[in-house]
Structure 1
């Protein structure tokens, strides 16, 4: 099952330590914004008298990865869904496909890339908790093996009948996610989608693609990739010629902003 996060909305005090820790860990520029952007990968919003986190849910079968024609997104064995900006050709299919509407684009950059939570993949691989979980003073966000988090969530719900909605959000939504949430308020009132299918949307993507002749799919991806890669290289050259100092990343992903 890999690793994951459990967020308990009844414990969150809205301090924003998780968002600040995320910014520091991923070297994201600017202040913490109220909504998710390419530069703010997790944020805390007040809904129905509770504080709720917004971040990538890290689907077990990520639709974003299934639609990416160049493999810029993938699910790691440890649990995080990671993103490789060097592979990305800027098609933004991931943004359109995500059932949780998470990935965001750097609209303000000459050569933009996508920004989203990567669940501190480097830390997780090294056996460390995510920065957000380590920073949470109320243990509203905890990190661990997914099966242990499921057990913990069920235990909290069972031990306090009526204190929680009898459902673990992320257990079945979109085929299951590595980020789980529990709350005493219906999840749709917290701004979370409650009408998601139990089957991974990615399965439908693969079913459609499997019915397309291989040579058509390969050539479509190839030609589209050539177009985007060429356009992006021309843009890089133009920016360089103009002496524009904006780097390609400016959002972390473990690399310095080339300015």
Structure 2
């Protein structure tokens, strides 16, 4: 690239994470300060591929430390043991890194497909999985256009594993652990702030960026937004995804669904809760 990533980072005057998501005192904004969704802007022009975000995420969520070696052309995916991954791509601009995790869609297909609302879009923005409501149908895995939710088939207590944007930290006014750890390529704030900052960078540094904010419109808009120095097809993004949200495809169908099918999720959740209660009683007696 014509400009070194670190030099560019210093040139635009960004110090750590102070550019987005902080008030004048230097503290993270409380989600209550805004009614709109919060999210994360990832700038691949700045990312150096250190994978510190991967390790911090694993530690924060009790997962094994990532061991897979990052190699150009070798696609590493999220799994039941890893919520985020950084991949390396050889492009026309040289080596470029891209981080992958749950995209936290504005209208998530996984939540729309979930019969018991175990997969849930919070008012703060993150899409979270609620174990106590899950009945194990795994419809969320099938419906996700980004192939993110993963099921731990080898566990005696299987869970759906995915990035939750450190929701427990956000509700306390703290930053997601990956953002706090990175300080360079990841920035937290409201979607409006992030999009405005992304457009500003594209305008001021056109030689550094393709004029596109990935996530602004794709799949109806996402909580994770991307800036990159090369087109999306060079960075492993699925360019076939539509811009409108995927749940919108089924809205007209749902209006015509008989009420019995609308009541089925409640019935299934009741069965799930009853079974779980019985199992807990049996374990206590043992």
Task: Place the TM-score, normalised by the shorter chain, in its bin.
Answer: 0.7 to 0.9
**Paired residue for 2:40?**
5
**Paired residue for 2:154?**
108
**Paired residue for 1:157?**
202
**Paired residue for 2:72?**
none
Deviation sequence 1:151-205 (CA, Å, 0-9, x none) = 1111111112232111000000000011100101111221112222221101223
Aligned partners of 2:67, 2:252: CA distance in 1, in Å?
Answer: 39
Larger Rg: 2
Task: Check conservation: 1:111, 1:235, Cα contact below 8 A.
Answer: no
Deviation sequence 1:66-93 (CA, Å, 0-9, x none) = 1100010111111111110111111110
Alignment of 1:1-259 (within 5 A): 1-31=36-66, 33=68, 34-48=76-90, 49-137=95-183, 139-219=184-264, 221=265
Unaligned runs of 5+ in 2: 1-35, 69-75
Task: Check conservation: 2:54, 2:66, Cα contact below 8 A.
Answer: no
Q: 1:195 to 1:26 in 2, by over 3 A?
A: same
Task: Check conservation: 1:64, 1:97, Cα contact below 8 A.
Answer: yes
Moved over 6 A (4+): 226-238
Deviation larger for 154-163 or 5-14: 154-163
Partner SS for 1:212: coil
Deviation at 1:233, TM superposition (A): 8.3
Deviation larger for 95-104 or 190-199: 190-199
Deviation sequence 1:105-144 (CA, Å, 0-9, x none) = 101113312000000101111111110011015x111111
Deviation larger for 5-14 or 156-165: 156-165
Task: Check conservation: 2:133, 2:269, Cα contact below 8 A.
Answer: no
Deviation at 1:210, TM superposition (A): 2.1
Aligned partners of 1:174, 1:215: CA distance in 2, in Å?
Answer: 30
Q: TM-score, normalised by structure 2?
A: 0.76
Deviation at 1:26, TM superposition (A): 1.6
Q: TM-score, normalised by structure 1?
A: 0.83
Q: 1:167 to 1:82 in 2, by over 3 A?
A: same
Partner SS for 1:5: strand
Deviation larger for 6-15 or 208-217: 208-217
